[in-house]
Amino acid sequence: MLSQDDRHRLDEIERNLRTDDPRFVRRMETGKVRRRHRPLMLCCAMWIVAPVLGVLGGMAALLAALPLLLVGTALLGPYIRRG
């Protein structure tokens, strides 16, 4: 349990955070922080599946997997630009 002084300090930190970074506070309140990683996970899955299809399915499967590589690369773009 927090002391009265600690609660006041925590309230002050929260107020300053709401003023300084409202976008962060909004993300924390809605719980959508982990959602940003979904495209990255999908991209990784596509890059893993495409070579496996090529090895297991031969040339026809490899050609069918090329769109997966293109979409995966397109999804990865924002993460590369972000640095």
Phi, psi of 22 (to 5 degrees): -65, -30
Query: With 80 as the cut, is the pLDDT of residue 17 above it?
Result: yes
pLDDT digits (tens, 9 = 90+) for 21-72: 888 888 777 765 455 677 777 777 877 877 787 788 887 877 777 787 787 7
Residue 68 has a pLDDT of: 74
pTM above 0.75, yes or no: no
- CB-count exposure of residue 72 (10 Å: 0-12, 13-18, 19+): buried
Residue 12 has a pLDDT of: 92
Residue 40 has a pLDDT of: 74
